[in-house]
Structure 1
Amino acid sequence: MKKILTLSLLFIGLHTYAQKAKLELNLQKDSTYLLSVAADMDIDQLLNGAHQLVKTTVTGTTAHKVTAIKDTLYEMEVTYKKLGMHIQMGDKEMGFSSEAGADDLMSKVIKIMINKPFIITMSKRGQIVEVKNIDSLFSGMAKEFPQVGELQLTQIMAQMKQSFGEKSIKGNLQETFVIFPKAPVSVTGMWTTLTTMDAAAISVKTLTKYTLDAITDKYYQVSGAAVITPDKVPAFKQSNGYFMRLTQATGNYTAKLKIDKTTGWVTESHITKNISATMQAKKTATGPVELSYPMKIAMKFTGSDK
């Protein structure tokens, strides 16, 4: 009798272990899905033989409303609900926030971007097909800041578009959502994804190997390990009076995710990322590179659907 019971339990365990799950987005029209993130980034620059450390914390919440479903594609209206940034370099600190109480120029610029929708089209597998209407984020800035000189406002908008332009937003969204396998997988099953980012003076591709670690009543538990390698030669981007780019970027990252079984939305994520690269800078767009130094970037990222 004990042998029969043991064999039965073993059979049940093996059957559960062998069950395959189809991981993909299953969103509903007119429903809104939140994504809140907090990222701590340490940048170590070896400049003239001395280490210069810049610590940055970025926080934000975006709302994704499904406005249309076309075959395997979701069209979403995306809005920033809140944004914030804190930067520390040596004994200098500065912070910007869309929350009430912050009245510096950059905070006011960020506040203008809140609740202004842009459009993304995403596949069930999380592939970002299109990002459009980004200019709506910056509409009305000239009217809002008549006291700011045209040149200064142009420089501010150019810097903001490096982080919130079409390519940057698409690259960041791909890292968040391109996580699903092409076919159903069982627990311990593995698959790979390949994403590219070509934005903000960096161009890399990321090959990630994912594993389905567990299936619970409410979510899939997934882990990932990635290798980051250079893609095409990145373009120089103007910043703080210089034209700059990151070349020869290599690195790795690890991820732990919880994916809602019903919707496929990422409800919780923990990511660590390390990148080494070379920063190149020059004074004019067509001039020679005048400064080149190594840089290391260490980032810890957490996300949730709250």
Structure 2
Amino acid sequence: MKKSLTLLMLFISINSYAQTARLELNLKKDSTYNITINADMDIDQLINGLHQIVKTTISGTTAHKVIAIKDTLYEMEVIYKKLGMHMEFGGKVIEFSSDLKSEDLISKFVRSMINKPFGIVMSRRGKIVEVKNIDSLFAGVIKDFPPISDAQVAQVIAQMKQSFGEKSIKGNLQETFVIFPKVPLAVKGNWTTVNATEAAAISLTTKTTYTLNAIADKYYDVSGTAVITSDKVPAFKKSGVYLIRLMQPSGRYTARMKIDKTTGWVTESQITKDISATAQIKKTEAGPIELSYPMKILMKFTGAN
């Protein structure tokens, strides 16, 4: 009896590991898939021997409607349904949100971006192939802000495009999605992806090793560990009255997520990211670097469908 029970348990164990799964997106035309992100980010800047801490909380919800399916590609219409940020540094608080009725310029600008569609093309493996029509996010902004000059609006648009430009959005969206393996995997199987990201004043490469931890009734349990390295020398970007860039970024991150077995959509995710870099600041493009200091960024964010 004991021998039979032992053999049965061994058979069940072997069978569960032998089970394979093809992880990929299986989305339906005219269906809409949502993602809500909440991120806490602490930036520690060591300037002239003093630590300056910036604490930021970012939240947002995006809706992705599949408008066409072409071979292995999904064409989607994406809208921001909600955007917000809370920042604390040096005893000051900056806050803006699409939900706030505040008349400050940034909140008004963010509210103007809500429900304005832009396009993305994504492969069945979860890779963002293209981001399109980003200028639609900023269409009509000038007429929406009659109290300020056209030049002031243009300046705000230029700064906002650093966070919501084509490259930034492509990089941020790609971090939300898993790039799936090319072949079916068994439980405990793993695969590796390499992704380049260029956003604002930073350019980096992330090499991630994913593991299929378990196959549940309704979802796949997947984890990932990544090594972050410098990609190329980034250009200086405008930040207030200064120009800034982050040099030689490096770090790691870990991720744990649930992936819907039917759609391949990430329904839950928890990610911790730790990055170190050197910030360089100058006043003009042709001018010398006036300040250089180390910076550490710790980010924890959760995502849900």
TM-score (norm 1): 0.97
Query: Partners of 2:100 and 2:243 in 1: how far apart?
Result: 34
Q: SS at 1:167's partner residue? A: helix
Structure 2 residue ranges without an equivalent (≥5): none
Q: Indicate if the aligned counterparts of 1:39 and 1:302 stay in contact, CA closer than 8 A.
A: yes
* Ranges of 4+ aligned residues in structure 1 off by more than 3 Å: none
Q: Indicate if the aligned counterparts of 1:98 and 1:111 stay in contact, CA closer than 8 A.
A: yes
Q: Indicate if the aligned counterparts of 1:178 and 1:193 stay in contact, CA closer than 8 A.
A: no
Aligned to 2:295: 295
Query: Partners of 2:22 and 2:176 in 1: how far apart?
Result: 18
Q: Indicate if the aligned counterparts of 2:55 and 2:89 stay in contact, CA closer than 8 A.
A: yes
Aligned to 1:260: 260
The residue type equivalent to 1:212 in the other structure is L
Query: Partners of 2:297 and 2:53 in 1: how far apart?
Result: 10
Aligned to 1:126: 126
Query: Partners of 1:228 and 1:179 in 2: how far apart?
Result: 16
Aligned to 2:304: 304
Identical residues among aligned pairs (%):
69
Query: Partners of 2:296 and 2:100 in 1: how far apart?
Result: 34
Aligned to 1:92: 92
Q: Indicate if the aligned counterparts of 1:37 and 1:303 stay in contact, CA closer than 8 A.
A: yes
Query: Partners of 1:6 and 1:175 in 2: how far apart?
Result: 44
Q: Bigger CA drift: 180-189 or 23-32?
A: 180-189
CA-CA distance at 1:13 after TM superposition: 2.4
Cα RMSD, aligned residues only: 1.1
Output one character per residue of 1:26-47: Cα deviation in whole Å (capped at 9) or x when no partner. 1000000000000111011111
Q: Indicate if the aligned counterparts of 1:20 and 1:185 stay in contact, CA closer than 8 A.
A: yes
Query: Partners of 1:79 and 1:106 in 2: how far apart?
Result: 18
Query: Partners of 1:111 and 1:101 in 2: how far apart?
Result: 9
Correspondence list, 1:224-243, <5 A:
224-243=224-243
Q: SS at 1:13's partner residue? A: helix
Query: Partners of 2:100 and 2:46 in 1: how far apart?
Result: 37
Q: Indicate if the aligned counterparts of 2:223 and 2:255 stay in contact, CA closer than 8 A.
A: yes
Aligned length: 305
Aligned to 1:25: 25
Query: Partners of 2:174 and 2:97 in 1: how far apart?
Result: 25
Structure 1 residue ranges without an equivalent (≥5): none
